[in-house]
Structures are given as structure tokens and as C-alpha cells.
Amino acid sequence: MLVSPKLMFENCYGKYGIAAVNVFTMEQVLALFRAGEKASAPFIVQLTPKARNYASPGMVLAMVNAAADLYKDAVFAIHLDHGDESHIKDALDSGGYQSVMIDASHDDFANNVKRTKRIVQNAHELNVCVEAELGVLGGVEDDISIEEKYAKYTNPDEVERFVSETQCDSLAVAVGTSHGAYKFSGNQGLQFDILSEIQDRLPGFPIVLHGGSAVNLQEIKRINNSGGILGEDASGVDPDEVVKSIGYGVVKINIATDTRLLWTRVHREFFRDSPDLFDPVIPGSEYMDAYEEFMVHKFNMFKANGKAKNFN
């Protein structure tokens, strides 16, 4: 069942978090829906410009809709993540999306407001929600790379004016996370003082945490034991900190890196242990099983399990 993210956020604020998961392949789409239905947890399917370019916009959306037909009890929304104006226009024109994200955070404040406001006006005419971003995250998100020295935290002094002028429906903030597998230098973690001040200035307003993957070191080690050469200094967000952030207004937690690492580990171990095999269906099935287990664990961690009934 399709549900607007706005309704999800109103229901979950301060109580549980919504997992927003980037998908690229059929296996990821099917496993996400299997997990959501199994846990009876609402979730957001995120499609990025890179995923749309890889499979074509129509194909990737068709996979999501086909999965919804198979798992009719799944409660979900479809979101365009990190869209630019061209991808957002195409998504709005083609339909099928309940929300879009305009990432103008690399612009100065005035241009960010200007670009975001224009997208909000177009999207709201179609009852589509808009996520904006204020503050710059480091790391890599598909084709976007931001050097750490240019990453900066969201300024709480700007959030009220930004939301008021743009009328965006949710706000992604920079509070210490980065995209990719190398999220932190040192052990600084999430900046709860910034989150707290943002919540004080925007009480009840939905906040989004990008770069929410945990980057399990055991997964890294298993990948490397199977021929990988990933740095074992990779670090993700402490799951306890993600859970804690829900009490500070974070309603949506983005996940991408963890599912990529899982794909890599499953396939590397499979072909290491079965070098005589070449059938993609076998490791693909193993990946879907591992993905389902992983996402059910995330839903439980975010306290979203069983919450799908709230939208019946």
C-alpha cells in the first residue's frame, strides 16, 4: 500500500524511524518488500539518478510496482533521492513518486532557497512531498563527491528561515555523517547538540539522516577474506546513536552502503567457495535472503516493526 511520507512522518515522529533504502536491482527490490511485509514495517524505496540511469527510469519504477503487487501488505512510499532539476522534472512528469529530494546544499543559502522553493511549488501542485538539504555531507553519494574539508554542519540559526521560505516537507541535515563506507574521522559520531538545537527551532518538523549505514566491520573483514581490499578503518554510524537520534526529530534514516557491502560479501564468498559455478540465480537468491534478514533487523532496531498496521 502506497502511503505519503508526510503521513509516515506524522505517525512516527519521536517514536520510531522510517528506513529509506536505495535500490538498484531486482534482488534488492524484492528483498526489501519481503522484509517490510515480514516485519510489518513501513519503509521508503529510494531511487537515485544513478539507479534511474542504470536500469532506465521506467524499468526501475516498474520493478518497484511489480514487487508491490507481489507483497500487497507492504506499506511503502517511493522517493527520488538526491535529484537534480532534470531528474525531478522527469519524476514529476512521469508520476509514481510520493516524494522527491532536491539537493542544492552545495549552493550558497540564497540559491539553495531559490532552487528548493521552485521544486516545492511544482511538486506540491501534484501532492508530492519535497525533502531539501541544508549543510553539506562529506563522502560519496553515487556521482557526488565532497571532500571532507568542504563538509560542514548544518547551521541551526538558518533552519527556521530555510523551512519558512521554501515550505519543504522534510529537511536533511549535516550532523556528522558522510556518504559511503568512511563516515567519520576519529570518534566524533553524531552531533546531538546540533540536532537538539534544530529540534528546538523546528519542533515537530521531520528531520532526515543521510549516511545512516552502520558499516559492519565484520562484513568488511569477510569481504577482504574473500579477495577484497576494502580499508578496515571504514566506520559507520553507531546503531545506538541512530536510535537515539529518533528522539531528536529524525524520522527518516537513509541506508545504501550497508546493502552494497552485503552484496559484495555474499557474492565474493559464493564464488570463492563455488568457483565452478556461474549461475547468477544462486548467489542472487542468497543475497535476497541475507538482505531480508538485514532489513528485518533494521526495522526492529528503528522500532518500526509492527507499525504498518497504523496505516490500514
Active site residues: 81
CA 27 to chain centre: 17
Q: Look at the block and give the residue holding cell 555474499.
A: 266
Contacts of 297 (CB under 8 A, 6+ apart): none
The number of CA neighbours under 13 Å toward the Cβ of 10 is: 8
Helix (H, G, I), strand (E, B), or coil: what is residue 275?
coil
CA 86 to chain centre: 20
What is the C-alpha separation between 80 and 78, in angstroms, rounded? 7
**Lookup: cell for 278:** 556461474
Number of H helices, E strands in the chain: 12, 11
Of 55, 68, 54, nearest to 98 (Cα)? 68
Contacts of 52 (CB under 8 A, 6+ apart): 60, 87
How many beta carbons lie within 10 A of that of residue 155, not counting itself? 16
Contacts of 113 (CB under 8 A, 6+ apart): 162, 165, 166
| DSSP, residue by residue, 103-163 | --TTS-HHHHHHHHHHHHHHHHTTT-EEEEEESB-EEEETTEEE-GGG-B---HHHHHHHH
Are 51 and 63 in contact, with CB atoms under 8 Å apart? no
